[in-house]
């Protein structure tokens, strides 16, 4: 896909789901073996154009997500390049056993895309939120887990994943339309290798998904307090970039920020890695606390769980002052 300023702004405006559909449609032109399976979400996943253009490559299994994975495994066994996509809680939670057996154990290679993960569908209640998916899938072998920072990174990740075909992948899409831009121009992306976005030696923030933008904005607030912050986009949560964690050990405070339960996600992955060192800085894990609250719109829930920029800034500032004292 042509990556330029105009398209980056367009993709930001239409959000990660519609951008996903555009990317799949274009990538399919050069991949005769690409097939896409959905569970009654062609419009929600931005796939209406793909369905019309490539009807022979599009398969809608209906609201039967376990079958979605089983059928995808069959296509994979015949060497097709398979993408499955539906809303994240149904892509992961409803299909967990099928994912374990077909992707983890039997190692069929499938690219699963969980759309509208995190809190963005909170107006439909927590049945449609997904704050557990990373924690569930991290425990299944032979799976790579990626959470793109913005709509451009959705394109970059999909290009990299379909090219590599090394293992099954779960791509976790967070955020909605008018998705904040993190990357204003093209850049190099490598699965498993994090990206340093800002440099600072006082605090290192590890973040993923929508929280990358919020982390950058919080780092600007902290700079006004004369605190220098390194922000690292950990787009690949599994396998975690161990080198980036090792390089952060000289920081005074480490922070993980994610639109996910604080149990099992990015923060947990970093904490597990830090446990191998005899001495490491304190880790502040910021995310959704281990609870289900009342539903609400996206902005409300981000504020409710203190994942807005001001709340993130306040939490980090308090933790840093504790360190200094």
pLDDT for the residue numbered 325: 63
What pLDDT digit, counting tens, does each position of 135-176 carry?
999 999 999 999 999 999 999 999 999 988 778 999 999 999
pLDDT for the residue numbered 20: 97
pLDDT for the residue numbered 165: 74
| Calpha distance 8→16 (Å, rounded) | 11
Topology match between the domains 5-174 and 195-324: yes
Give the containing element (helix H, strand E) for 245.
helix 242-247
Number of CB atoms found within 10 A of residue 325's CB = 5
pLDDT for the residue numbered 82: 97
How many angstroms from the chain centroid is the CA of residue 85? 14
pLDDT for the residue numbered 323: 74
| Calpha distance 66→39 (Å, rounded) | 10
Place of tokens 């308090």: 318
Going by C-beta distance under 8 Å and a sequence separation of 6 or more, which residues neighbour residue 36?
A: 24, 28, 47, 50, 57, 58, 59, 83, 84, 85
| Calpha distance 37→111 (Å, rounded) | 10
Question: 5-174: what CATH class?
Answer: alpha beta
The pTM assigned to this predicted structure is: 0.97
CATH number of 195-324: 3.40.50.920
* Domain extent listing, the chain: 5-174, 195-324
The parts of the chain modelled with pLDDT lower than 50 are: none
């Amino acid at each position: 896909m042509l990556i330029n300023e105009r398209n980056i702004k367009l993709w930001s405006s239409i959000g990660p789901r519609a951008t996903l559909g555009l990317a799949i449609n274009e990538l399919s032109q050069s991949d005769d073996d690409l097939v896409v399976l959905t569970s009654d979400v062609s419009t929600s996943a931005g796939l209406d154009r793909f369905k019309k253009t490539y009807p022979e490559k599009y398969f809608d299994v209906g609201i039967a997500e376990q079958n979605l994975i089983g059928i995808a495994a069959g296509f994979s066994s015949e060497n097709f390049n398979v993408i499955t996509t539906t809303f994240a809680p149904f892509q992961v939670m409803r299909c967990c056993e099928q994912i374990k057996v077909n992707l983890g154990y039997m190692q069929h290679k499938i690219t699963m895309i969980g759309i509208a993960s995190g809190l963005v569908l909170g107006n439909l209640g927590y049945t449609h939120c997904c704050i557990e998916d990373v924690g569930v899938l991290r425990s299944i072998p032979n799976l790579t887990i990626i959470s793109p920072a913005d709509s451009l990174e959705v394109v970059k990740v999909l290009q990299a994943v379909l090219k590599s075909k090394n293992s099954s992948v779960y791509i976790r899409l967070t955020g909605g339309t008018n998705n904040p831009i993190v990357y204003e121009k093209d850049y190099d992306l490598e699965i498993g290798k994090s990206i340093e976005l800002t440099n600072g030696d006082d605090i290192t923030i590890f973040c993923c998904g929508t929280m990358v933008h919020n982390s950058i904005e919080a780092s600007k607030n902290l700079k006004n307090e004369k605190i220098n912050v390194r922000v690292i986009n950990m787009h690949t949560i599994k396998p975690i970039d161990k080198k980036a964690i090792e390089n952060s050990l000289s920081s005074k405070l480490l922070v993980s920020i994610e639109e996910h339960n604080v149990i099992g996600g990015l923060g947990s992955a970093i904490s597990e890695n830090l446990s191998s060192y005899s001495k490491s800085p304190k880790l502040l894990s910021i995310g959704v606390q281990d609870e289900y609250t009342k539903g609400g719109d996206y902005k409300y829930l981000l504020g409710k769980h203190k994942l807005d920029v001001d709340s993130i800034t306040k939490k980090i500032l308090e933790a840093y002052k504790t360190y200094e004292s």
